[in-house]
Amino acid sequence: MSSPGNSKANGKVESAVKTAKNLLRKALSARTDPHIAILDYRNTPTQGMESSPAQRLMNRRTRTLLPTMKTLLQPRAPQSERDVQQLNRRQFQQCKYYNQHARDLPPLKEGDVVRMKPFHLGSKEWKKGTIASKLDERSYMVETPDGDTYRRNRYHLRFIQEKRHAIEEKLAEAADKRKALEDCYRRINEAASGNNLSSQRCSDCHYRNHTVPSCQMEKCESVFFCGELARHPDKKMKLQEQKNKIIALETSVTKLEQDLRSREAAFDRVHGSVKKLVEDMLLEEYPEEYVQNNSRNWLKIQQDIAFVKKSLQGNGPPRREIVKSLLETK
Ligand SMILES: [Zn+2]
Ligand SMILES: [Zn+2]
């Protein structure tokens, strides 16, 4: 079973639909009977094989508009081993080609915030939801904020680590600001090393070996010329302000990171254990409902766990009586 809308998992069907559509289109443009076109298709050996679709389905050829020998219309032994081998080889080849370009997307875990690719034609909205449970290798149950659940293939889900993303943006911002500030200090130091700070300076132009009354230079415009922060108190204050802002930003990022980490840990603890508890209860209480022919019906189990969890709304560990009554009134 494939997730709705995941036509990739239906490769065979999709390709048959494509072939059929092409046939009908060609028949239409050539003004021939589409039924004849389909009949011919069914009697033509499939590429890479020695049998036609009709032969594989009915073990014999069907009549066409061309005269055919009677012996050719006789039923032949069911699918020879050779045909099966060829079919397998073809499927293996197709699988190989597909896998050459296929790449596994990173798995999602419960609680991950995702967006679902819009299915309906014309719809552009990527609905937001959280992963309620993992059904199999690539299939997930997604719960939207309004409480609806959807089954989706990983391929149709985009993982938005909104919190992570915000943290990374802030980290980058802090790093940029810190770099700009360090650049400032570097330029000031360079200017300072060009000047001899130990000697007396003019308090107007900030150059050496004279005083204001005999100054013939222009007033120092910037700390980047003289390198003496003490003589540019406005700039000194501004730089200190920037420094404080960066420190505040870095502190908030650290807090956000800690918060996210503890939330993730708490989520794993609570949901991991609640889910496991409910799962054990369900299997113990209703084995005939969830286990058929010795194999567990994971889809039903996951759906019912999601239902129980939603009904409990995170109110502590589930008690057996409550879970039972919830399921029985469902
Ligand atoms: Zn001067
Ligand atoms: Zn100066």
* pLDDT block averages, 10 residues each, the chain of length 330: 60 71 80 81 76 79 76 69 74 64 69 81 77 88 86 82 76 93 93 72 85 90 90 94 95 86 66 74 84 80 82 70 80
Question: SS3 of 51, please?
Answer: coil
**Per-residue pLDDT tens digits for 165-194:** 778 888 999 999 999 999 999 999 998 887
**What residues have CB less than 8 Å from 72, skipping those under 6 apart?**
61
What is the number of other CB atoms lying within 10 angstroms of the CB of residue 275? 19
Distance 217 CA to ligand 1 centre (A): 5
Q: Where are the alpha helices (DSSP H) in the chain?
A: 11-29, 34-43, 53-58, 70-73, 81-101, 162-194, 223-226, 233-285, 287-290, 298-312, 320-328
- Chain centroid offset of residue 20 CA: 34
Q: Are 55 and 76 in contact (CB under 8 A)?
A: yes
Contact 169, 257 (CB under 8 A): no
* Residue 224 alpha carbon to ligand 2 centre in Å: 7
Taking the CA of 228 as reference, the closest ligand is 2
- Cα–ligand 1 centroid distance for 226 (angstroms): 11
Q: Report the length, in residues, of the chain.
A: 330
Q: Whole-angstrom Cα distance, residue 111 to residue 133?
A: 8
Q: Which ligand is nearest to the CA of 191?
A: 2
Two tokens, residue 149:
């659940």
Is the CB of residue 150 less than 8 Å from the CB of residue 129? yes
Q: What is the pTM of this model?
A: 0.40
According to DSSP, the β-strands at 149-153 and 157-159 are unpaired
CB 219 within 8 A of CB 254: no
**Of 5, 238, 284, 244, which is closest to residue 117 (Cα–Cα)?**
5
**Hey, how many other C-beta atoms are within 10 angstroms of the C-beta on 138?**
20
Give the ligand at the shortest distance from the Cα of 220: 2
Q: What span, in angstroms and rounded, lies between the C-alpha atoms of 254 and 329?
A: 47
Query: How far is it, in rounded angstroms, from Cα 28 to Cα 37?
Result: 10
Ligand 1 centre to CA of 215 (Å) is 4
pLDDT of residue 108: 83
> What are the residues whose beta carbon lies below 5 Å from ligand 2 (ion)?
206, 220, 226, 231
CA dihedral 107, 108, 109, 115 (to 10 degrees): -170
Res 272: pLDDT: 65
**Burial, 255: exposed, middle or buried (Cβ in 10 Å; 0-12, 13-18, 19+)?**
exposed
Instruction: Give me the percent of the chain exceeding a pLDDT of 90.
Output: 17
In this structure, what are the phi and psi dihedrals at residue 292, rounded to the nearest 5 degrees?
-125, 135
**37 with 28: CB under 8 angstroms?**
no
Query: For residue 208, which ligand has an atom nearest its CA?
Result: 1
Integer Cα distance of 85 and 87 in angstroms: 5
SS3 (DSSP) at 130: strand
Q: What is the DSSP letter of 49?
A: S
Q: Which residue has the tokens 């009709």?
A: 54
The region, left, alpha or beta by phi > 0 then psi within -120 to 50, assigned to residue 313 is left
Q: Comparing C-alpha atoms, which of 274, 289, 292, 277 is closest to residue 327?
A: 289
Q: State in Å: Cα 222 to ligand 2 middle.
A: 5
3-state secondary structure of 213: helix
Retrieve residue 56's tokens.
Answer: 């594989």
